[in-house]
């Protein structure tokens, strides 16, 4: 596998073309689930897969499965993949490298004359990003049976639109949600290529990371209802300002993360909307979404409870009504050591040093790990920057990742 014909220039061109499909002007990439940009991006990628002659299937929530049939189609397939949705104000590499890079890996394997024993399947997961419904990894959660259909049916976006309504508009309405969950043993392995989204590989000048564990994420949504009124007329002691309660909650999140006792606890209030949003009106409603993670569950869970207690205390003191929802409270994923070993071997064969690492970001791999042996291949990104328009990995770094992915897929698809 040393001399696979990986075309780094073609891949970079595709990454750039996909980045141009965005709701915001370059260099910003914004592709929210089932937005016009997301739908066009799906068409673009499916077009590339058709060029390569791969079979495409889609499920009711919009997960896309692209299959290179193996010699023994009855064997569980080897899967790879990632996402092409992007948070507001994102860059062009998060998720995309694992999708377009996988297509390039498959092309290179095909051109090299490799014939897989097991089928190789590329999955483009729906809504890895939580922007629209507040919950990340929507597609992979449903595939793994980690989100009930009842909970999925109850999801609403900020405009009150349901998943049902949106998937119908996106053209997935005729498909059955009950069939999204994968049958046991559908896949023999899952390997996701992704940018590191952290600084370690670049700092240590190591081209490849292999993931042994993915940190445990959780998300809270808090809706606050106070009393609005005229900014000039309502005197300060009379106020029940929803925005100020939210501000105190955001500070309580910071404190809970800082004082958790673990340097790995991170807390972020990344969504904070207020109504009515007029300078001369006391905010009557606020809407917060809080992201809290850790590599260890006990410290994450203790911080979560502390935040929930703070919400109650702050709202009581300020005379604010609140609704608090746990949108997701997930365990960490432990990756499969045999697969980690295959990635280490691939790096070795290609002369690329591989570092074992923890992923602090979450990925669809978090849920794939619940249904099959899973690991991830990381490549460096400049300054560790991600979820920003200036996110960057060089064509060479990406090509290295694709080479390791291709070589790992080849090993896994050959083994019976």
Each residue 65-94 as x (binds Mn ion by CB under 5 A) or -, in order, gives -----------------------------x
Task: State the nearest-atom distance from the C-beta of 360 to ligand GLV, in Å.
Answer: 8
Cβ distance to ligand GLV smaller for residue 121 or 192: 192
Q: Does 376 bind ligand GLV (CB under 6 A)?
A: no
Residue nearest to ligand GLV (CB): 361
Determine if residue 194 is labeled as part of a ligand binding site: yes
DSSP 348-395: HHHT--EEEEEESS--THHHHTTTS-EEEEEE--GGG--SSTT----H
Choose between 119 and 365: whose C-beta lies nearer to ligand GLV.
365
**Secondary structure class of 120 (helix, strand, coil):** strand
Joined tokens for residue 231: 């900014």
Can you give 301-318 as a three-state secondary structure string? Answer: HHHHHHHHHHHHHHHHHH
In the list 114, 172, 187, 362, the residue contacting ligand GLV (rule: CB under 6 A) is: 362
Please, where are the H alpha helices in 216-328? 242-258, 297-318
362 is in the binding site of which of ligand GLV, Mn ion, none (Cβ under 5 to 8 A by kind)?
A: ligand GLV
Long-range contacts of 391-394 (CB under 8 A, 24+ apart): 391/90, 391/91, 391/92, 391/93, 391/94, 391/195, 392/91, 392/93, 393/93, 393/97, 393/195
The strand ranges marked E within 119-265 are 120-124, 187-195, 208-214, 216-225, 229-230
Binder of residue 294, out of Mn ion, ligand GLV, none (CB less than 5 to 8 A by kind): none
- Applying CB under 5 A, among 70, 95, 130, 198 the residue interacting with Mn ion is 95
Give whichever of 225 and 268 is closer to ligand GLV, judged by the CB atom.
268
Smallest distance from Mn ion to CB 359, Å? 10
Q: How far is the CB of 321 from Mn ion (least distance, A)?
A: 33
Closer to Mn ion at the Cβ: 243 or 379?
A: 379
Residue 70 CA: distances (Å) to CA of 74, 100, 110, 118: 9, 20, 12, 5
Which positions from 296 through 335 interact with ligand GLV, judged by CB under 6 A?
none
Mask for 109-138, x = binds ligand GLV (CB under 6 A): --------------------x------x--
Least distance (Å) between residue 125 CB and ligand GLV: 11
Smallest separation (angstroms) from ligand GLV to the CB of 319: 34
Contact 32, 131 (CB under 8 A): yes
94 is in an annotated binding site: yes
The annotation status of 7 as a binding-site residue, yes or no, is: no
Of 131 and 299, nearer to ligand GLV (C-beta) is 131
CB atoms within 10 A of CB 5: 11
User: With left for phi above 0 and alpha for psi between -120 and 50, is residue 55 left, alpha or beta?
Assistant: beta
Residue 70 or 136 having the CB closest to Mn ion:
136
Which of 204, 224, 248, 221 is CA-nearest to residue 355? 204
The interface partner of residue 114, options being Mn ion, ligand GLV, none and the CB cut-off 5 to 8 Å by kind, is none
Restricted to residues 349-408, the positions that interact with Mn ion (CB under 5 A) are none
Does 240 belong to an annotated binding site? no
Among 361, 368, 398, 404, binds ligand GLV (CB under 6 A): 361
* Interstrand relation of 333-334 and 55-58 (parallel, antiparallel or unpaired): unpaired
- Is 17 known as a binding-site position? no
Tell how strand 120-124 and strand 266-275 pair up: unpaired
Q: What is the spatial distance between Cα 86 and Cα 403, in angstroms, rounded to a whole number?
A: 25
Q: What gap in Å lies between CA 281 and CA 102, rounded to an integer?
A: 52
Q: Which is nearer to ligand GLV, 129 or 336 (CB)?
A: 129
Which residue positions form the known binding site for Zn(2+)?
A: 83, 94, 129, 194, 387
Q: Which residues contact ligand GLV by CB under 6 A?
A: 129, 136, 361-362
Q: Which residues contact Mn ion by CB under 5 A?
A: 94-95
């Amino acid at each position: 596998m040393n001399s696979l014909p990986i075309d780094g220039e073609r891949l970079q061109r595709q990454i750039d073309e996909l980045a141009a499909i965005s709701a915001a002007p370059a260099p910003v990439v914004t592709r929210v689930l089932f937005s016009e940009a997301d739908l066009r991006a799906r068409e673009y990628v499916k077009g590339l897969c058709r060029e390569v002659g791969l079979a495409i299937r889609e499920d009711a929530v919009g997960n896309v499965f692209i299959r290179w049939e193996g010699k023994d189609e009855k064997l569980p397939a080897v899967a790879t993949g990632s996402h092409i949705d992007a948070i507001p104000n994102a860059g062009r590499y998060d998720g995309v490298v694992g999708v377009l890079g996988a297509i390039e890996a498959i092309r290179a394997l095909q051109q090299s004359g490799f014939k897989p024993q097991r089928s190789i399947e590329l999955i483009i997961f729906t809504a890895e990003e939580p922007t629209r419904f507040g919950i990340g990894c929507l597609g992979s959660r449903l595939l793994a049976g980690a989100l009930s259909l009842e909970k999925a049916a109850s999801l609403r976006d900020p405009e009150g639109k349901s998943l049902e309504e949106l998937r119908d508009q996106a053209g997935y309405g005729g498909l059955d949600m009950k069939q999204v969950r994968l049958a046991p043993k559908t896949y023999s392995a899952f390997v996701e290529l992704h940018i590191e989204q952290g600084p370690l590989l670049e700092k240590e000048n190591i081209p490849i990371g292999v993931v042994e564990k993915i940190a445990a994420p959780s998300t809270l949504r808090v809706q606050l209802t106070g009393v609005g009124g005229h900014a000039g007329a309502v005197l300060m002691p009379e106020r029940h300002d929803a925005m100020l309660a939210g501000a105190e909650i955001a500070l309580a999140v910071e404190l809970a993360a800082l004082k958790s006792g673990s340097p790995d606890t991170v807390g972020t209030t990344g969504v904070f909307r207020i109504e009515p949003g007029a300078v001369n009106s006391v905010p009557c409603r606020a809407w917060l979404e809080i992201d809290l993670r850790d590599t260890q569950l006990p410290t994450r869970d203790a911080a979560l409870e502390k935040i929930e207690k703070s919400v109650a205390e702050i709202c009581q003191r300020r005379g604010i009504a609140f609704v608090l929802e746990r949108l997701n409270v997930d365990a960490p994923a432990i990756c499969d050591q045999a697969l980690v070993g295959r990635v280490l071997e691939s790096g070795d064969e290609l002369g690329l040093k591989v570092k074992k690492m923890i992923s602090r970001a979450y990925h669809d791999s978090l849920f794939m790990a619940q249904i099959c042996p899973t690991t991830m291949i990381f490549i460096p990104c400049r300054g560790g920057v991600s979820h920003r328009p200036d996110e960057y990995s060089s064509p060479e770094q990406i090509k290295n990742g694709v080479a390791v992915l291709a070589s790992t897929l080849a090993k896994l698809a050959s083994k019976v």
